[in-house]
Amino acid sequence: MPSQQTGHAATKVWFITGTSTGLGRALAQEVIADGDRVVATARDPRTLDDLTALAPDRVRTLPLDVTDPTAVRLAVDTAVKDFGRIDVLVNNAGYALRGALEELSENELRRQFDTNVFGALDVTRATLPVLRAQRSGCIVQMSSVGGVLATLGGTAYAGTKFALEGLSEGLAAEVAHLGIHVLIVEPGPFRTDFTSRSVRYAAPLDDYRPALDPAKQQFMAMHGTQPGDPTRAARAIITATHMDKPPLRLPLGANAVDRIRERLQQRLQEVDAVEPLGRPTDFA
């Protein structure tokens, strides 16, 4: 089992995107409580004033739209200028787009991937030279249960998280010898505004209503009753980053652990079922 540090040898510098609400906000608060330094970003930095008030000497707030590559580079450069380094990058900014694939416009799909995938990649690529020079650091990629299994109404969102998981797994192998770790976090339903403020819906088509309307109603009904505690999630993420060898993936919440385990078992059964068809396709 990976060993875990029992305390800080020195304060770390965290760079967290999407800290205005939700898990990003909870994580920033817990990191500040631990005595570390935080660069907290959001599209509107005025939403972060209360974080600054918690520890003015250890918190920097910056405006950042992760779909703007110029703003990304400026934010990373400012973080390094102010704090001298970045130890933990958390790519948390993102949102959910719900609807059947045919219902989604091209602009909606591209915006979803620009934010959830290319935004995270741009921030990662801007930060990698810093981590590489340090020969240390941890990149936390906020994925989802939706990065392991797709659900009705969540096709586009799952597509972004599946992409992020594959890219992050590949990145982890590339940077391991440089002392850089990658942690893919897979939360289940947590009691944040993800099911309200952080979700957008496509204009519905009648043919898809019988399948998608019940799923939409179930999704909306979760708001305010999700089983996951954001503070406990934040503590789990912090604990994982303190490990000498952080895990590649960290499902958060009983819902996530159970559903991911069930899906992986199903995948094994699917492989076994089609093996007689797929295996004999090599050259004889």
Active-site residue identified among 20, 143, 144, 168: 143
Active-site residue identified among 12, 20, 157, 168: 157
Please state, in angstroms and rounded to a whole number, the distance separating the CA atoms of residues 26 and 23.
5
Please state, in angstroms and rounded to a whole number, the distance separating the CA atoms of residues 173 and 143.
18
Instruction: Kindly give the pairing relationship between strand 13-16 and strand 180-187.
Output: unpaired
One DSSP character per residue, 95-136 reads: -EEES-GGGS-HHHHHHHHIIIIIIHHHHHHHHHHHHHHHT-
Residue 191 carries which DSSP code? Answer: S
Asked if 143 is an active-site residue, the reply is: yes
The partner residues of 182 in beta bridges, in order of sequence, read 139
Among candidates 264, 256, 259, which has minimal Cα distance to 227? 256
Integer angstrom CA distances of residue 33 from 20, 26, 55, 89, 235? 17, 11, 9, 18, 11
Active-site residue identified among 12, 144, 161, 168: 161
Please state, in angstroms and rounded to a whole number, the distance separating the CA atoms of residues 251 and 165.
12
Asked if 161 is an active-site residue, the reply is: yes
Positions marked catalytic:
143, 157, 161
